[in-house]
Chains A and B, each alone.
Chain A
Amino acid sequence: MLSHGYVRIMEVNLDNGKGRVIKREDLVNHLGGSGLAAALYQEYGLPEESPFHPDQPLIFAIGPLNALFPLMSKVVLGFKSPYNGYYAETHAGGRMGTIMRFADIDALVIRGKAKRPSYLVAGSREINVKDARHLWGLDTTLTARLIRQKEARAHGKRSILRIGVSGENLVKIAGINVDTFRHFGRLGAGALMGSKFLKAIMLIGDASFDLDFGPSYKKLYKRLFQDLVGSDLMTKYHGLGTTGNVLPLEKMKSLPVKNMQATTFPEAEGISGEYFADNLLLRQVACTGCPIGCIHIGLLREKFGEEHEYCYRQVSYDHEPVFAMGSMLGISRAEEVITLLDRVEKYGLDVISTGVALAWATEALEKELISKEETLVPYKFGSSKEYLEGIRYLSEGTNEFYRLLGEGVSAAASNYGGEDFACVLGQEMAGYATGPIFFVSQAMGFRHSHLDTAGYQLDQMPEEFTPERAVELLEEEERQRVLLTSMVACLFARKLYTPEVLQEALEAVGLKEQGKSLEELGEGIRRLRWRVKFSTGFKPEKTVIPRRFTEIVNVKGVSSKEYMKDLIKLYSRSINNLRDQEK
């Protein structure tokens, strides 16, 4: 733990099933999360080798504040992406961040390739690589259930990561499921686990630490907790949750619909947060250590036989999954969205990429670039039963077409045509068709996510930003976010954890030096992680925005091609500067 003056790293080598724990004092100024993962990739990674090289590491990192303050609940996974070949981050919540703290692991570095399907059990007193041949080929739900039964200890203090069939099959849009409802979804981390024959990881949080920080720590914890629970700062996340965005986005012509042939959706009501809450919301649950409870679980009672025969499905929903399995596919019934999400969850795919891929396939089929020979089922926007099959074909790589589509929409489009309507911004787009700043910011952001710099917020503001000003604002946002993702905070807490509060929090847990030089450390981390990405071949100036993004109407009208070109040029310059700057 950083407060003790070092970071504790657990290395596991799957080649021989052995591991070791090391304490590193020299890494403390990388803080944790984004900073620590990038620093460790520099040491352990093979930037020029294939993402599937057996020695490529999976690096899970928490930060100095995990479990010590509310909403410090996330984990950063740093890895070389099988999807695009660059150094990448993907983030997840659930129990894992807190459980890593209590497993006394600041970073878990997994290298090598197991000789047979395996799962790892790791805790403060345990490193054990076990046989998982019986789990290979099973879905994510059953895998976790069987591990819980077999490893029946530390109830409530475990965190279980696992891949589905898609990860086993090295599908490059496969994710890692975390604790049933959360995911390291993006950029193909699931395929990396699959390439190592690593089916699952169970972490055990069984260590305790004496608190010797003095009274200011407890006082600050209480104040932050009360700020969170006693105000309406977080109401929207607990109430409707992120699906509360569906209707407002639709109203401002920013909801991607039917492979983004449109940005409005008259039937949006049927997949709105309000509809879900009124008809399908079972309850909310929380990540460990967060009092908000933003994880919304939908319950679908499904009739499967004539004689009053029912089963039920429980699955978490958010704006992104609902856009991906809903509006993007023209599906307007929340019940069908739940059924599709349940299948994506079980096969362990990245839901956003899956939705965008199936939407592209539907339009490509409409335009006769491909035929039923490729798709095997006649996709039609609005009809879920074919998509349900498609999820399986993608996961299993049923034919050449699905194997290519499983590498991402761009890979399929470069073979079959249809690049113009490939909704890809670095990776398959997130559910915010707000306008040019978002399009460029996802395409160029560090992890090609809407969360990198929140360009979608700028598109929604009444001001017109010059490209220069837009880039300044994106940089500013990235600076604050990289601090948060090095703590590792949930980004929903960004209004609470201002740089000043982060400084106070670090100082309260004995990290005075780091607190004082936070801004400088943050900038160092920002530079480092871009440099690591550059070391894997990334070239920001090569960014392409497909034509579809310049054909549709958004908040401020149709996005100008020229404006986006300027933005890409300036943003590239800004990122390239980080590479070239002296330390």
Chain B
Amino acid sequence: MTAHGTRPDSGPILETLESEAIEILREGVAAAERPVMLYSIGKDSSVLLHLARKAFWPAPVPFPLLHIDTGWKFREMIEFRDRTAAEPGLELRVHTNQEGRKAGINPFDHGSEHYTDVMKTEALRQALDAGRYDVIFGGARRDEERSRAKERVFSLRNHNHQWDPKAQRPEIWNLYNTRPRPGESLRVSPLSNWTEGDVWRYVAAERIPVVPLYFARERPVVERDGGLILVDDERLPLGPGETPRMCRVRFRTLGCYPLSAAVESAAGTVEGVLAETLAADQSERRGRVIDHDGEGSMERKKREGYF
């Protein structure tokens, strides 16, 4: 396949997407008793938070942000999170699966699938149960993965936070069914119809702050299974022959650092990243190790409660 054409001119698409996302945010809040936004610190979360500020201006964002901290996030992500949370009017709630942490669950010894189950999916279920949230906003996009292309904007989860793709409520027009039954909840995705390119166009157009890891810089990395893994702290066990080397890299997607692969890049600015995104041959999720845990792995994780 040949390279994607460079098309920084977005036309009227951003206005349409912004108005649609704001409509979804307001509809979710109007229906909710206990709304919350899952805040993953990534670019999609930054965009979603920006849209929430716009939707409810001049009121502050009318829901708290919830971060599921696995303990293995990039240091720069945690710094960025804490800077964001310090802004007036924002409330950040952080949850870690303490049992998993005490058991020392990590991505190296327990495998990425088990680690994700315990430190992300299970941790998320714990936090949602504790907060009794009924409407849960997140930054998921339909272009990320093919099972997401089939998911509703207002996606019903049962009392165990599970998604049943065969029992989805019809979602016709922009007329969202915002009524979960007691114990059920709604995962709401205002960015459903956005693409990775739209996200970067919007970040550029609105000058939205994002974690500096998205921009290329010299960073220490090791090559592992064809991906470049950042040596973010001393906890990364180095295999025989693995020596960190300095490389000009950036990240298309951020998660736990041992599971997020960097790409070599010269793009040090938003405009540079946008140009590279629009010309990319690979999807951003290629850098995510957990998406490749077998055929249909994302659908399976979502059935179990993953966002």
Partners in one complex: no
On B, residues with C-beta under 8 Å from A are: none
Q: A residues bordering B, Cβ < 8 Å?
A: none
